[in-house]
Each structure stands twice: as structure tokens, then as C-alpha cells.
Chains A and B, each alone.
Chain A
Amino acid sequence: MSATAATPSAAIPGLGRRIGSLRKERRWALITAYISLVIAAIVMLAPPLYMLLTSLKTSAEISNPVGTPWIVRHPTLENYWALISDPMFRGFFFNSLKVTVCVVVLTMVISVLAAFSLARMKFFGSQVLATGVFLTYLVPDTLLFIPLYQIVGAVGLLNSTWGLVLVYPTLTVPFCTWIMIGYFASIPKELDEAALIDGANWMQMLTKIFIPVALPGIIAATIFAFTVSWAAFVYPTAFITRPDEMPLTIGVVSQLIRGDTFAWGQLMAGALLAALPPVVVYAFLMDYYIAGLTAGATKG
């Protein structure tokens, strides 16, 4: 650059070359981008793909590998069939479903009410509470599971899915409240003034204005609560030892691994089936999912 600027006579051919090189640079940047993305996609998708391949193999094919393990020679659905017809696995699924639905409903009621109150109807200490919500979000479950183990034990809910319903809100409520505060705070004040003039009370204002306007935020928060309670692992591992009360995550990890001869095909099929609901939700609601993910920092 300094070379072309040094002598005016050299500037014009230099300029021509620079424009050409700019286009070339752009093309190279694009090629680099695609190469990086393809490599990244291969790395990111290889483990789930290999799980899928394994789940389609028979035990005989898994234990006597001939050639590459990355292709399926005799695809079969027997692993999936064995799981679906297994009452224990169906039990895991229903436990997960029960806990997740309860937790999502509970979380959304708690956090929408609280976020509305914190974003709009300040009260003594509400600012401190908003900061407190954020700090609670930063407290990891692995710091709390031992005292909670004692507390849940004292309430008599160890080995019960209801114990999970009790403690999962620690995972979901702080973040959901936090992003709902952000969404509610971005609604213009004129809207609630108009509602107040029309004689709406606070409850009507929340249900008739805030919830409809902030619907994308509510969907994002619901997806978050769903994903987190479906994937929760620390609490069920600590609190549940009876197979009939286990949700999917710990059920697949602890019950499908039996003895030394692993039923790998079945294990992978189980893991994939267990991972399916969040993936399906994600596939259909990706934009909300990403909005929720980034809301914590970009809306803050």
C-alpha cells in the first residue's frame, strides 16, 4: 500500500492490480470460509452420525467389525424396536415428559409474573432482586446438589420424579426471568399508559398486552426451559436410583449399560431417541431458540 502511494506514476497500474487482488481476496475469503465450515460441519456432525450408524447395526456386526465401522452393512431397526417395546424405556420417557411439562409450566408462570413485576412495577428492592436473579443464574447445579440432596431427602422426595419437579426450577427460572425482563423492558411505555387510561388493571395489562407483544420471548424462554429440564443430568443422577422413577438422561446412561458386554446398538438407539425431542423442537423453532440463546447477552 505504501509502495503504490509513494510515486504517483506507479499509482494507476498499482490501483488496477489492487482492485483485481481485492476481488481475488474476496474469492479466497469465501473459499476459506466454505472449507472451514465444511470441516467444522464434519466434526460437529460425526458423533451423532456415528451414533445413528451404530444404532442401525446388529450386535453381531458391531462385535465383529470387518473393514470400516463407518458404514452399515445390514441395517436393522431391531434396536429401536427392542427399546420401544421395553416398558422400562417407555417409563423413562414418560418420567421425562411428566417432569419437563410440569417444570416448563411452573417456570413460565413464575418467571412471566416476576419479570413483569420487575420490569414494570418497581417495588422496594426490585432492582436488587433483578441483579439477584442474574447472580442465581450463575450458580451452577453442581454447587447445589449436595445440600439439595439433603433437603429433598428431608422432604421425602428422593427417588421420586416430584423431587425433580421441585429442584429443576433452580435451573430454569433465573434465566427465563432474566430474558423475560429484557423482552418486557423493550415494550414501549406508551402501550401500558394507553391500557391504564382505558381502565385496565395490572393483570389485564399483562395478559392483554405484555404476553401477546412479548410472545417471541415467551416462546424462546419456553424452549429454553424445555431443553434444560429435558437434558438435566446432575440432579436426577444424584436423587434417583430406582429405575422406575428415572428420566431419560440418567435412565439411558445407567440402565442401558449392563455388565461388561455392552449392547452398543441399543445404547446408541436409546441415546438418539432420548435426544430426539429437543432436536425436533430445535429443527422447527430454530430462530426462537437462537434468539433465546443470545438474548442473555445481547438484550441484557
Chain B
Amino acid sequence: MALDATTVTAAGPAAAPPRTGVTLHRIARRRSTIAFLMALPLIAVIAGLVAWPAGYAIYLSTLNRRMTSFIGLDNFQILLESETFRMVIWQSCIFAISAVVLKALLGFWLAHMLHHIPTKGQRIWRGLLLLPWVVPPALSTLGWWWMFDPSYSSLNWLLNAVGAPSVPWLGEPGWARASVIIVNVWAGTPFFMIMYLAALKSVPDQLYEAAAIDGATGWQGLRYVTLPMMRNIISITVLFSLIVTFANYDIVRVLTNGGPRDLTHVFASYAFQVGVLSGNIPRGAAVSLFMFPLLAVVAFFILRGVNQRNREMA
């Protein structure tokens, strides 16, 4: 509200009679001043709640446990030497990569299937299939947790009904890791589907007609028309999802809480465990900072993809 008042009063004199180049210059300057003031809350949020904390995290990670003295990179070194943390790095990478690949493939498949059926029916199917994305992940994971429950597992009941043996979903490390991936894929596939569907719809029909006249098979149409046209959105979506999946916390926290034997921890849940639950804030900050290099690389490529797309569309 205070901001409105300043911009309005600042804008008032701008309507004063323009006479010379000097006044014009002043108007231009005023215009940019107003613009700056309007963007100021945004700048405050970015600087105060993202940039500063990010820098502060780096500072924190160089302190000792009591946060009394500077210990350089010792936290990072201790982490890298610990067996548990090396497992966390592994698990984070396996989790993120396999989940993103599965989501991308399934999402692509579903988007295609959805694109094939008559437009009239697409709405309802899209509505149903997007539901997992709408439910807050922490809450839907509770449902999965209950389906994975060792003694009452409804999934095992289904497996037994078709003659398969019960699966120790969350009890055994390999299955626990698979379970975390399954839930993540379940929750994330709709996002890919909807992005790809939007991209598929933006490919002009003439291209397919031209390809069909040239004798292209369905597969060739996919390979030489659809994929090149969608390349940009596919890469942006995959990279974006890589960040979100890599930084995922909700699912691991609710489903396994890092267990069994800390084998399903990812960076975020381990940082939480070390930093907040065990009270070693500096080391927790160090753990979460390990995500940073990957995020920076991925962000660079996303930005490049987005800029490319903007240029193509301009």
C-alpha cells in the first residue's frame, strides 16, 4: 500500500507539460524510477530470502558445530569421508535419474495416447490423470505408505491375489529405494504428460500431412517431426524435473524417513537429519550445498533452452 502511494505521487508530475529534451529525459528517468519502485518488493524477496540465505549457507558451512569458529572446508571433507554420506550421494543420483527418466518416458507415452483420442474425451482423461499432481505430495505419500504397510499392505494383497509373493516394500533397502522412486514417478508423471501434451498440440498439423504425403510412417513422423518440434520443451521439462526430483524431500520423509539403515536418504532428507534434528547446522548446510553444483549446471542449460525457445518464437 505504501508503495502505491509513492508511485502515484511520483507519477503525478510526469504528466506536467513536456517542453525540452531535458524534461523528456526527466520523464524517462522518472519512468524507470517508478518501474524500479514497482519491482522493489520482488528485489527484496529475491535478495533477502534467496540470495542472502544462499550466501549465508556457504558461510554457515564453514563453521564448527557450535558455530563459534571458522573451520574452512572441514565439514565438506568430513562428509566426503563418511560412508553414509557417500551412500547419500549415490542414492540421490540413482533416485533422481531413474525417476526422471521413467517420468519422462511415461509422460511422453501418456501424452501421445491422450493426443490420439478424440478431442471431446481428452478433457475428462486429462482431468483424471492429473489428480496425483494436484494432491499435496506429503499427503498422497501417506496413502502410499499405508499401501506399503508391512502387515496390512493392500498392494501385497493384490500381488498375492495373482499368485505373486509378498514384497517387503519399505523393509528391505532395495525395495525401499524402488518404493521411493515409484511414488515419485506416480506423483510426477502427470506434469510431464501435461507439458508434452501442450507441446504436441503446438505442432502444426500441416507438418504431419506433409510428412504423410512424403510417405513417412508413424514412427518416422514421431522421429522427424514430433521430436524436433518438441525438443526444446522436452529438455526444459526434463532438466526442470531433475532439479525438483534431486531436491525432493516430502516423499522420503514420509515414506521411509531415510531408513532402513539410512539407505534411502537423499540430500534434502539427510541435510534435515543432520542440520535440524541432530542440531549440527553447519554440517547440514554443507550437505544441502552439495546439491548446488548440479543445480547450477542444470540451471545453465535450462536458461539456454528457454532463451533459444524465445528466439525461435520471436
Contact = CB atoms under 8 A, between A and B. Distances in A.
A148 B275 CA distance: 12
A297 B237 contact: yes
B249 to A, nearest CB: 5
Nearest to A26: B116
B243 interface: yes
Contact of B134 (A131, A279, A300): A279
Contact of A290 (B49, B126, B147, B217): B126
B299 to A, nearest CB: 5
A116 interface: yes
A201 B143 contact: no
A111 B42 contact: yes
B233 interface: yes
Contact of B136 (A117, A268, A274, A283): A274
Interface stretch (A8-16, A47-55, A74-82, A211-219): A47-55
B89 to A, nearest CB: 15
Interface in A221-239: 227, 230-231, 233-234, 237-238
Interface stretch (B18-26, B165-173, B203-211, B289-297): B289-297
Interface size class of B (residues with CB under 8 A): 35 or more
Interface in B249-285: 249-250, 253-254, 267-268, 271-272, 275-276, 281, 284-285
Contact of B140 (A36, A48, A54, A111): A48
Contacts of B97: none
A132 interface: yes
B125 A37 contact: yes
B236 interface: yes
A177 B194 contact: no
Nearest to A114: B42
A191 interface: no
A147 B56 contact: yes
Contacts of B12: 201
B187 to A, nearest CB: 9
Contact of A268 (B127, B142, B250): B142
Interface in A13-68: 25, 29-30, 32-34, 36-37, 40-41, 43-45, 47-48, 50-51, 54, 62-63, 65, 68
Given A48-B143, A62-B152, A231-B138, A294 B38 contact: no
B64 interface: no
B293 to A, nearest CB: 12
A201 B13 CA distance: 10
B8 interface: yes
A113 B41 contact: yes
B249 A45 contact: no
Contact of A114 (B32, B41, B288, B291): B41
A16 to B, nearest CB: 17
B8 to A, nearest CB: 6
B76 interface: no
B7 A48 contact: no
B233 A297 contact: yes
Interface centre among A113, A238, A286 (most CB of B within 10 A): A113
Given A146-B276, A237-B253, A202 B50 contact: no
A143 B236 CA distance: 21
A63 B149 CA distance: 12
A69 interface: yes
B288 A143 contact: yes
B292 to A, nearest CB: 7
Interface in B179-215: 186, 189-191, 194-195, 198-199, 202, 215
Given A123-B32, A143-B289, A279-B135, 10 more contacts: A117-B35, A118-B39, A121-B35, A138-B298, A147-B60, A169-B49, A201-B8, A203-B4, A249-B136, A275-B139
30 contacts: A1-B215, A37-B117, A41-B128, A44-B190, A45-B131, A48-B140, A51-B143, A68-B161, A70-B157, A113-B42, A123-B31, A123-B33, A124-B32, A133-B46, A139-B50, A139-B54, A142-B249, A142-B267, A144-B54, A146-B285, A173-B46, A237-B249, A238-B272, A238-B276, A264-B149, A267-B146, A271-B142, A294-B194, A297-B198, A298-B199
Interface of A: 1, 25, 29-30, 32-34, 36-37, 40-41, 43-45, 47-48, 50-51, 54, 62-63, 65, 68-70, 109-111, 113-114, 116-118, 120-124, 126, 129, 131-136, 138-151, 166-167, 169-170, 173-174, 177, 199, 201-203, 227, 230-231, 233-234, 237-238, 249-250, 252-253, 264, 267-268, 271-272, 274-275, 278-279, 282-283, 286, 289-290, 293-294, 296-298, 300
Which 7 interchain pairs have the tightest Cβ spacing? A231-B136, A140-B247, A114-B42, A121-B35, A142-B268, A123-B32, A147-B53
